[in-house]
Structure 1
Amino acid sequence: MDGVGKVYLVGAGPGDPELITQKGLRLLQTCDVVIYDRLASIGLLKYLKEDCVKINVGKIVGNHAINQEEINRIIVEQAKLHKRVVRLKGGDPFVFGRGGEEILTMEQHGIPYEVVPGITSSIAVPAYAGIPVTHRGASQSFSVVTGHTAEREGSLPEDFKHLAKLEGTLVILMGVGNLEKIAATLMEYGRPPSTPVAVVANGTTIWQEEARGTLQDICQRVKEADIKAPAVIIVGDVAAVHFRSKEEFALSGIKVGVTGTPNITDKLQQELEGLGAAIEVISQSTLQVYKDNREFDEALKSIEAYRWLVFTSTNAVELCFGRWKELQLDFRRLAKLRFAVVGKGTEEALLKQGFRADFLPSQANAVALAKELGALAKQGGDRLLIPRAEQGSEELASILEENSLCFDDIKIYDIQEADRELLPDAGQLRKFDYLTFASASGVHGLLKGMSEEELEQLKAVDMVCIGEATGQALEEYGFVHLLMAHEASASGMVQRILESVQEKERLL
């Protein structure tokens, strides 16, 4: 059918964004529009193209804001507008994901499609809880069923009485609301009251929690643990198995919420997870690179006019050298240029480009950079080129102007904060042990608009900031007890968290 795009039904996996398939990830990176639901990890959205259209059709238990018919209509509509559409679905599209209904709609409208399977929560969530759905001597088979029917709220599928008589493991999805009926029905039709049961909520995420018991007492155990949907119920002997490593790390059990651009969040995630912490990227900023930036291009083409190239972020380093290559300029033209960086992280980014920093201020902030480099550059009457973010420190430019220095301050990118609809609320944020901030804009992007009551809730969480400007932004919202990184880098923030955890341990 001419003029119609192709739809890919992609399984996002059970919750952990790293459990998506390579093919699913590749399609996300190249699609024109993504239609996603609540069970598809928000962490996957960072892989989208800058101009990708994002449509949230998420449904929350008890509050179906967008019904399936409307979702079907949106899929058809977007396929007529875009060449490549990804319908991102939690778990696997064909395991209680209503993928079949969406395909029938597409076939009715002549829309081409392809299904990309995903890891289903029915096996992944038990595995993350240390429960094998099959295990020699305990279970040679498993059945996956839904814990409710679409026809009548609170009712069980008719085949539950037959499932009670089956041997092997029974995995029940979307059944927490009917747990009492499920347990009673299974016992009524043959399952012993002593049958082991596990209920695992928010599986494969840092918020995973579980309750274990038997058919006789599991409802009370779930109530005591305050387990809520989404959750997976596992019934059978394997539910008593705990296949979990006893290995402990410095940050085991610590939950950290990370904010910033992928450049910083990826580094934080790698280092913190290596120390055993549980990480969630709660606010993913994106870079909007200024294209057709003639002022910047002309500055690069006339690079010999400058004595200093000044970098205040790793993003600026990467974008500057990336543009240099795109313009096919000769690196030998940089031979007489001197490089100044704001801190260790920026210094490392510059070194990756093959250049050592000639100047690093005594403190990793824009004010120290401007004062100390300004004094040095003024002596030689040097001209400076400063490519940086739209949100760059105003103090840097004003200090240089006060010292009558010659410089070109060129904005080469903008930091776009995360969609506010995707941000967790204060109730969710207060569950973290630490929140990290790598920029003042990141602070405003997460906290702006919160009420005084919500901000008060967050004062139980330790706030970690990369530098003074970020700390000042947090102070604007009433946070005064801050953990300041000794070094303005991802590693500096990780080290500060380690110190904080060790300090708390000594006080116990």
Structure 2
Amino acid sequence: MNQKGMVYLVGAGPGDAELLTLKGERLLKCCEVVIYDRLASDNLLQLVPYDCEKINVGKVVGSHSWRQEDINRVIVKKGLEGKRVVRLKGGDPFVFGRGGEEILALQEAGIAFEVVPGITSSVAAGAMAGIPVTHRGISRSFHVITGHTKEGILTDNFETLAKLEGTLVFLMGMGHIEQITGELLKCGKSADTPAAVVSNGTTFKQREVRGTLKNIAELVKQEDIKAPAVIIVGGVAELNMKGTTVGGLSGVRIGVTGTDKFTKKLSGCLKDEGAFIDNLSCLRIEDYSGSSEAIEAIRQLAAYNWLVFTSTNGVELFFKAVKEQKVDYRIFAHIRFAVVGKGTGEALLKEGFQTDYTPDSYTTRDLAKGLVALLRQGDKVLLPRAAKGSAELTEILHNKGIAYTDLTLYDVAPDINILENIYENLSEYDYLTFASASGVEVFFQNLKEADKEKLKRITLVCIGDITGRKLKEYGVSQFLTAEKYTAAGLVECVIKDREERQVLP
């Protein structure tokens, strides 16, 4: 009989992936099964192991494809299989998340579980819009009410709610906003009571509208505010305590594509400038550092005079293999190192080695030309890099008669789920970034004809001439190329473009 597993009910938070708790992050990184709903950020799914089983039980208002009873059965089934399961739930599991029902099912089945609280949108959405749920002299309490029940009817205690002096926060109430405001007015709540609606709070899609209890429903229609949204009623709704972060990209919405490591770095830089970021790690790394070719190359290290790296992934995977093979580092005593750019050099330094050569311009072409000038007759070069690395580097070495080994350490493959998320949100972006030719290729190979029109309204930004050439191959003639081929250079490129747009008549 299989040993029963462990189920964790993890609150995913209000939408921004960075608002997930550290404990939630740790559990996602080691789970075997993740069962998630539509309110959880898609970016959180990038934390789970690649071989983790992903089960989407998302429910959309008006078209419930999953009944709660069915969800309970799936959770119990995976627990009985002896799996380490994360049930990822938007917000907090116990704030209208039906987490209690799932726990009752687990208790009945005798499966161990743990609840990991999450930040609830009932507080966070308002906070990101500059609306505190309590404020001295205005509101000493707040009350969270569901705007959507299992039976499809509203609460029957509007008379009590209308008399409360604290802040009223309605979740899942967009489909009933006219009824909610109408009932509060009918029960004596002042028509001039401040009210606000915050849609997609804490995410790059966040929008808000403010008004009064009398006109907020009409304003929502006029501004086309959609669910998921939080309705806030009370004096605090007229306060504006929104963050005042000043940056060159304040309010700009940017989709960031690429591998996990680079997108995190670039997203951080863009956020520092005030941009709203959709971090889309649509490329996963396929690790070949344990291949027979890699093992043989490492065993023959003494035969090489130069190690040349064109990415941080190459550095990290190469030294991962070196450590796994228990190589004595003294073998590197005679070897010199060349890297394509500053970031790759920093990755090499973390492994304990200084760079001997970095080109002034961070391109593989300049790397090759500079390297050729430094090589002596008889030198042999090892190139640990991606499967689809630039042909320019090896062509230059070949034409100069230099002996080299082009070692494939990894490849990049598309994450189709993340790509679908990018395509779905294309109309939301002001800019979309690409960090490599392979990233461009993956994006366009899977792009549907119907989505191509959306691209015309977005400014595409790339790092490097090679990435730019790949965009042209797919018919893109208008795009920006960063002068410096780094994350910081790309940020500067977007800021410059934004400034130029603002001064245009």
Contact 1:40-1:88 at 8 Å conserved across structures = yes
Tell me what 1:323 maps to.
Answer: 321
SS of aligned partner of 1:259: strand
Shift of 1:417: 1.8
Shift of 1:36: 1.1
Q: How does 1:88-99 map to 2 (within 5 A)?
A: 88-99=88-99
1:273 Cα offset (Å): 1.3
**Uncovered stretches (5+) of structure 2, i.e. residues with no partner:** none
Q: Provide runs of 4+ in structure 1 moved above 4 Å.
A: none
1:147-182 deviation digits (Å, cap 9, x = unpaired): 122213xx3122233322222111100001110111
Residue 448 (structure 1) aligned with residue 445 (structure 2): yes
Q: 1:473 to 1:62 in 2, by over 3 A?
A: farther
Change in 2 beyond 3 A, CA 1:64/1:50: same
Match status 1:151 vs 2:151? yes
Distance 1:53 1:291, change over 3 A: farther
Residue 502 of structure 1 deviates from its aligned partner by 2.1
Once residues 67 and 291 of structure 1 are traced to their aligned partners in structure 2, the CA distance between those partners, rounded to angstroms, is: 44
State which of 433, 458, 462 in structure 2 corresponds to 1:461: 458
Q: Specify the SS of the correspondent of 2:456.
A: helix
| Cα separation, 2, equivalents of 1:22 and 1:425 | 26
| In 2: Cα distance, 1:241 partner to 1:206 partner | 22
User: 2:47 corresponds to which residue?
Assistant: 47
The Cα of 1:94 is off from its aligned counterpart by 0.9
Which letter maps to 1:357? T
Secondary structure, counterpart of 1:424 in structure 2 = helix
Shift of 1:142: 1.2
Which residue does the alignment assign to 1:388?
385
The match for 1:212 is 210
Query: Distance between the aligned counterparts of 1:375 and 1:30, measured in 2?
Result: 47
| Cross-structure match for 1:195 | 193
| Alpha-carbon distance in 2 for matches of 1:53, 1:402 | 48
1:406 and 2:403 correspond: yes
Shift of 1:137: 1.2
2:501 corresponds to which letter in structure 1?
Answer: K
Provide the alpha-carbon RMSD of the alignment: 2.1
What's the secondary structure of 1:164's corresponding residue?
A: helix
Distance 1:297 1:215 in 2: 69
Q: Within 1, Cα distance between the matches of 2:301 and 2:386?
A: 20
Structure 1 residue 104: Cα displacement = 1.9
1:438 aligns with 2:435: yes
The letter of the residue matching 1:92 is: D
C-alpha contact 1:187 1:215 (8 A) present in aligned 2:
yes
Deviates more, 1:359-368 or 1:188-197: 359-368
What is the aligned counterpart of 1:170 among 161, 168, 171?
168
Q: What amino acid maps onto 1:456 in structure 2?
A: E
Q: Name the residue aligned to 2:35.
A: 35
Of residues 239, 243, 253, the one that matches 2:251 is 253
Question: What does residue 124 of structure 2 align with?
Answer: 124
Aligned to 1:58: 58
Residues 446-455 or 168-177, more deviating: 446-455
Q: What is the CA–CA distance in structure 1 between the aligned matches of 2:76 and 2:476, rounded to whole Å?
A: 47
Q: Corresponding residue for 2:11?
A: 11
Cα distance in 2, alignment partners of residues 116 and 286 from structure 1 = 28
Three-state SS of the structure 2 residue aligned to 1:460 is coil
The CA deviation at 1:399 is: 4.2
Deviation, structure 1 residue 294: 2.6
Q: CA deviation at 1:284?
A: 3.4
Q: How does 1:252-331 map to 2 (within 5 A)?
A: 252-290=250-288, 292-331=290-329
* Counterpart for residue 109 of structure 2: 109
- Check the 8 A contact 1:32/1:82 in 2, yes or no: no
Q: Is the 8 A contact 1:93 1:99 kept in 2?
A: yes
Measure the CA separation in 1 of the matches of 2:350 and 2:312.
11
CA distance in 2, matches of 1:477, 1:66: 39
Q: 2: CA distance between counterparts of 1:69 and 1:288?
A: 38
Q: Provide Cα deviations, 1:233-269, integer angstroms capped at 9, x if missing partner.
A: 0111111111124442222111211111122111112
The residue identity in structure 2 corresponding to 1:110 is G
How many pairs are equivalent? 505
User: Residue 413 of structure 1 aligns to which amino acid in structure 2?
Assistant: Y
Matched AA of 2:104: L
Match of 2:347 among 342, 346, 349: 349
Question: Which shifted more, 22-31 or 191-200?
Answer: 22-31
Contact 1:426 1:458 in 2 (8 A): no
Give the distance between the partners of 1:290 and 1:232, measured in 2 at CA.
Answer: 47
Distance 1:220 1:434, change over 3 A: same
1:429 aligns with 2:414: no
The residue number in structure 1 matching 2:503 is 506
Match for 2:19: what amino acid? Answer: L
Q: 2:288 touches 2:294 (CA, 8 Å); kept in 1?
A: no
Query: Which SS does the other structure have where 1:380 is aligned?
Result: coil
Q: CA deviation at 1:388?
A: 1.0
Distance 2:421 2:2 in 1: 41
Distance 1:159 1:291, change over 3 A: farther
**TM-score, structure 1 length as denominator?**
0.94
Q: CA offsets, 1:7-34, max 9 Å, x none? A: 0000011111111112111111111111
Task: Extract unaligned runs of 5+ from structure 1.
Answer: none
What is the SS of the residue equivalent to 1:436? strand
The Cα shift of 1:365 comes to 3.0
SS at match of 1:322: helix
Cα distance in structure 2, aligned partners of 1:436 and 1:342: 20
Q: Indicate the residue corresponding to 1:415 in structure 2.
A: 412
SS of equivalent to 2:170: strand
Deviation at 1:362, TM superposition (A): 5.5
Amino acid at match of 1:30: C
Measured in 1, the distance between the counterparts of 2:175 and 2:350 equals: 53
Instruction: Report the residue type matching 2:256 in the other structure.
Output: V
The sequence identity of aligned pairs, in percent, is: 52
Contact kept in structure 1, 2:11 and 2:93, CA below 8 Å: yes
Q: Displacement, 1:311?
A: 0.7
Deviations 1:31-90 (A, max 9, x none): 111111111111122222232222222223333233322222221222233431000000
What residue is the counterpart of 1:79 in the other structure?
A: 79
What is the deviation of 1:340? 1.7
Q: TM-score w.r.t. structure 2 length?
A: 0.94
Q: Distance in 1 between matches of 2:198 and 2:359?
A: 50
What is the CA–CA distance in structure 2 between the aligned matches of 1:313 and 1:291, rounded to whole Å? 14
Q: Is the 8 A contact 2:282 2:418 kept in 1?
A: no
